[in-house]
């Protein structure tokens, strides 16, 4: 199978970390987002959504969306489990992962895509043109601040985001916090629980994936 990837983009990083935690070596094909390769006819014929990551299986089946790709990898390589092990932990991982994606990752993307000149006319991913709405960048900054507060509160009561073990929710949270830092919204120094957790998960070998 082949993972269509771009090393600097945060969404495929979630998949790369997930695979690295499982010791899976994925063959990757770079789609250079900075050069607009996601909009080329050849990539559109593979993934009409024009985004990465995208996984193509040996039989030609295409799987888009980080959560779906990671679900597939969990099924073919169950150890170590990253999506929970029983009905309760599976639900908690899904709940926290979704919160990390919607309240963290998407909020940072809202800031970046509505403010950076490079995303003019491309405020939303995909092939359709979409104008930037500058007030959404301000709203996004407030959402990122609320995300940091929520994460710090959660990590005051739990070693990892979804409970006592490292999971997909930690991967999405780590990628979101690092993505925010790149967009010049660093996590507040006073958030000591978030800081402790971030230092800890950043030391895992998978974090460099
Ligand atoms: N919902 C998608 C989001 C994927 C996504 O937004 N990928 C970004 C990179 S982080 C992308 O390919 N952007 C293309 C662009 O900016 O044109 C997923 O979870 O896989």
Look at ligand 1, atom 1, and give the residue with the nearest C-alpha.
Answer: 65
- Is there a contact between 5 and 47 (Cβ–Cβ < 8 Å)? no
- pLDDT for 64: 98
- pLDDT for 63: 98
Residue to probe by mutation, ligand 1, list 47, 52, 66, 183, most atoms within 8 Å of CB = 52
Rounded Cα–Cα distance for residues 115 and 165 (Å): 36
Atom number, ligand 1, closest to the C-alpha of residue 54:
20
Q: Which residues of the chain have pLDDT under 70?
A: none
Q: Model confidence over 123-160: pLDDT tens digits?
A: 999 999 999 999 999 999 999 999 999 999 999 999 99
Rounded Cα–Cα distance for residues 163 and 165 (Å): 6
Whether the model clears a pTM of 0.85, i.e. scores above it, the answer is yes
Beta bridge partners of 30: 5
**Topology classification of domain 87-208:** Glutathione S-transferase Yfyf (Class Pi); Chain A, domain 2 (1.20.1050)
Residue 35 CA to ligand 1 centre (angstroms): 15
In short, whether 53's Cβ falls inside 6 Å of ligand 1 is yes
- The strand pair at 27-30 and 62-64 is best described as unpaired
Rounded Cα–Cα distance for residues 208 and 203 (Å): 9
Rounded Cα–Cα distance for residues 201 and 184 (Å): 20
- pLDDT for 136: 98
Which residue matches tokens 């990465």? Answer: 52
Residue 190 CA to ligand 1 centre (angstroms): 31
Structural domain spans, the chain: 2-76, 87-208
Atom number, ligand 1, closest to the C-alpha of residue 52:
12
Q: Where are the beta strands (DSSP E) in 24-174?
A: 27-30, 54-56, 62-64
- pLDDT for 120: 97
Q: Which among 44, 187, 36 has a CA at the least distance from the CA of 122?
A: 36
> Where are the alpha helices (H) located in the chain, listed in sequence order?
10-21, 41-46, 66-76, 87-99, 106-113, 134-157, 168-182, 192-202
- Own/partner long-range contacts of 58-64 (Cβ < 8 Å, ≥24 apart): 58/1
Residue 51 CA to ligand 1 centre (angstroms): 4
- pLDDT for 46: 98
* CATH of segment(s) 2-76: 3.40.30.10
CATH topology identical between 2-76 and 87-208 = no
- Is there a contact between 73 and 26 (Cβ–Cβ < 8 Å)? no
């Amino acid at each position: 199978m082949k993972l269509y990837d771009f090393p600097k983009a945060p969404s495929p990083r979630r998949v790369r970390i997930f695979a690295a935690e499982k010791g899976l070596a994925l063959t990757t094909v770079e789609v250079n987002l900075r050069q607009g390769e996601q909009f080329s006819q050849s990539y559109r014929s593979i993934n009409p959504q024009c985004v990465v990551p995208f996984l193509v299986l040996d039989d030609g089946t295409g799987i888009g969306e980080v959560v779906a790709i990671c679900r597939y990898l969990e099924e073919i390589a169950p150890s170590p489990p990253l999506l929970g092990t029983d009905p309760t932990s599976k639900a908690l991982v899904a709940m926290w992962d979704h919160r990390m994606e919607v309240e963290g990752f998407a909020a940072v993307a809202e800031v970046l895509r509505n403010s950076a000149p490079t995303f003019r006319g491309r405020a939303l991913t995909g092939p359709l043109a979409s104008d930037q709405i500058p007030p959404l960048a301000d709203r996004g900054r407030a959402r990122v601040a609320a995300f940091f507060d929520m994460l710090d509160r959660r990590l005051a009561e739990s070693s990892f985001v979804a409970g006592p073990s490292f999971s997909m929710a930690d991967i999405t949270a780590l990628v979101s916090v690092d993505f925010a830092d790149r967009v010049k919204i660093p996590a507040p120094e006073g958030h000591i629980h978030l800081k402790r957790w971030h230092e800890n998960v950043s030391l895992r070998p998978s974090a460099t994936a």
